Structure 1
């Protein structure tokens, strides 16, 4: 087994910053909706959070499928102001989410989220939003691994989640997990029939130690004990993009790729922190800017834009990173049902500042998805 440059390699990062510089084609699929006749195209991802007491878009008690780790109100979160913020683009207004319109326009079709637990976060959010619009409509739920599906039977609309944290395949050889940067055929087979595909990936590529999801990396030329994680991520993305170009019928299927969902573990990145992480935060970061991105995260976001921009298949990047960075208040912290009483009493070690409460921020991601689909 060989070893390529370790994660965080300065030379690799410098190389990537140069190799990922924008080209003439790098942004040709970065689209912007026009939200009203005669309006200029609007950047719906640049704006600010405003208080709106008509929110949330649904109640946790009316959506029993929310996983315990996202169900903050059920598991004792004492504050609720984080539920009452609406995203306001600087140059326009987002349309109100209309769940019935979504179901009618998607009649007979399949929406599929593909990726890690942040994709599952968004998948459950969309089901809750649609269910609240059609509470008496018959539905059917099938949970599995890697594929789970919620079917709105009256509308013949299925909303699925396919778990694939790296998108590319993982093979087991002689008891060892091989992350196959050059192969996506096993996972991709399940995605071909979807009408809307929304991909996300990123967080699992940086895990080390017990959280690492593979034992070796394979790239078609050899197997490695480790390699620069940004290089690995970009290589896997290119395999995903090649699969999409060969297998997606873009006259039928819309493809989305969600930018990185941020974490809030370092309170030095915002003013007046109340704890050692997101625990106890009840308001968004004020202003427009947030300085919490690492160099690795910046490189990974560049990789997404470069790879998506080079695809023949039109793909839309949902740029949710910046608006989500402002929401230090939106994480489950210690109010998730998968924590023990001892863990809940030790927020310095146990707070979940990666995932998001439901109802909460992923509802806005789905409003943005709805906007790009229909406006």
Structure 2
């Protein structure tokens, strides 16, 4: 009898101790999980009062944890707090003007290299040709009142699933698309589905997402032709569509247009098949006409081509002018761009022809948007001029070719990797803000 009592007592003590230890471990683990949420303010850039509110709620729920089914309540808590943080951060970002800000260091960049991306053309491959510094790749854009998320290739491709995007304009537009291919390579490499071998008219297919990206070379956005074999003088027809792209874009969901540098060259302007003026050309009895009028009319004609499609599927995006940064001379007189760090916004400003190009672009965009909206069309503005103005350090200069080649310095195009990669940050955030697609709620790695 005594032996049975002893066994019963020890059994009871063992069960009691096991229950106490298990409960303590579960509570410790649960409270540790709750403490994870103190880092939410860093993840989502919440303000101090918003962070404190979440922390207070967390502390309150900590005190209640021991009275609940911990596993289920903590899962719900985690989801609720994360959802709340995301909503508050999203609302703050949507109210923020993302195109005004400064460049700040980003030690995590770049997100690809010149050896991991095959779509980097020689004249953009600054590291291959011996550029000695690499800090120009390690910056990100910081809006004045919020954080601009770094481009997420998985999220972008999810948004673009089953859709298509065309880049129409000059070589900076092509530079932009090549940057996109390199950034997207972390998620998927595209296959070439081009109709031609001409790299000015390329199409790329992302098979896993059924997403197509294409580029259309049209530096004047309207019909243009060389006057001579050297291309020193160009005829542009300000009231005629460039059908190399206008006949193709009806099949695309997004059309990103740009233009600028080419309008500063010698040009003969035509309207209604007749010469109306000439810029920087020695022709007699021809009215001198500056680029301003021609630039405005070219954009107006380009927008007219899109609006005339009457296709409410097409979303027109203007990516504004990216300034060049020649110093110590013009492009063909020894000008160079040897700076190695960005400007601060207080150190330079948009002025001269850079300001005029930007102003005309935006004016014509708003005019077209007003007309297009009446027909159910969508327009979006990527006003990246100010951000790119502050990056004199991002060009190839003399590192876009072999030192044995006698070529002018390139202070127009952008090194890859480099500042032009940030255009993807702006593009993705603008697409997200406009709510043009519903992205499944999931984590993107």
TM-score relative to the length of structure 1: 0.78
2:384 to 312, 320, 330: 320
Listed as ranges, the matches of 1:61-210 within 5 Å are 61-134=115-188, 139-140=191-192, 142=194, 143-144=197-198, 146-170=200-224, 178-187=235-244, 188-208=246-266
Question: Judging changes above 3 Å, is the alpha-carbon distance between structure 1 residues 360 and 230 closer, same or farther for their aligned structure 2 residues?
Answer: same
**Counterpart in the other structure of 1:291:** 349
Corresponding position: 1:41 with 2:95: yes
**Counterpart in the other structure of 1:257:** 318
Corresponding position: 1:306 with 2:369: no
2:299 to 232, 237, 243: 237
**Counterpart in the other structure of 2:32:** none
**Counterpart in the other structure of 1:358:** 416
Q: Calculate the aligned-residue CA RMSD, in Å.
A: 2.5
2:105 to 51, 72, 78: 51
Q: What CA distance in whole angstroms lies between the structure 1 residues aligned with 2:293 and 2:109? A: 41
Q: Which has the higher helix share?
A: 2
Deviations 1:257-281 (A, max 9, x none): 111111111269xxxxxx96312x2
Deviations 1:289-339 (A, max 9, x none): 513632x332222211111111222322211111111111100011113x5
Question: Judging changes above 3 Å, is the alpha-carbon distance between structure 1 residues 231 and 63 closer, same or farther for their aligned structure 2 residues?
Answer: same
Where do 5+ consecutive residues of structure 1 fail to align? 1-33, 209-213, 269-274, 345-349
Q: CA deviation at 1:178?
A: 3.2
Deviations 1:142-164 (A, max 9, x none): 44254111221222211111000
Q: CA deviation at 1:40?
A: 5.7
Secondary structure at 2:316 match in 1: strand
8 Å CA contact retained: 1:184, 1:239: yes
Corresponding position: 1:343 with 2:406: yes
Corresponding position: 1:217 with 2:269: yes
Question: Judging changes above 3 Å, is the alpha-carbon distance between structure 1 residues 302 and 257 closer, same or farther for their aligned structure 2 residues?
Answer: same
Which structure carries more relative contact order (alpha carbon 8 Å, separation 6+)? 1
TM-score relative to the length of structure 2: 0.67
Deviations 1:205-260 (A, max 9, x none): 1013xxxxx5x32111621450221100101111112112211523x222111111
8 Å CA contact retained: 1:109, 1:156: yes
Corresponding position: 1:266 with 2:327: yes
**Quick check: which has more Rg, 1 or 2?**
2
Question: Judging changes above 3 Å, is the alpha-carbon distance between structure 1 residues 39 and 224 closer, same or farther for their aligned structure 2 residues?
Answer: closer
Q: CA deviation at 1:41?
A: 1.6
Q: What CA distance in whole angstroms lies between the structure 1 residues aligned with 2:164 and 2:193? A: 14
Where do 5+ consecutive residues of structure 2 fail to align? 1-87, 279-288, 373-377, 434-445
Question: Judging changes above 3 Å, is the alpha-carbon distance between structure 1 residues 159 and 234 closer, same or farther for their aligned structure 2 residues?
Answer: same
Q: What CA distance in whole angstroms lies between the structure 2 residues aligned with 1:138 and 1:181? A: 36
Aligned length: 319
Question: Judging changes above 3 Å, is the alpha-carbon distance between structure 1 residues 276 and 164 closer, same or farther for their aligned structure 2 residues?
Answer: closer
Q: CA deviation at 1:77?
A: 0.9
Q: CA deviation at 1:96?
A: 2.7
Q: What CA distance in whole angstroms lies between the structure 2 residues aligned with 1:302 and 1:359? A: 29
Q: What CA distance in whole angstroms lies between the structure 1 residues aligned with 2:400 and 2:343? A: 22
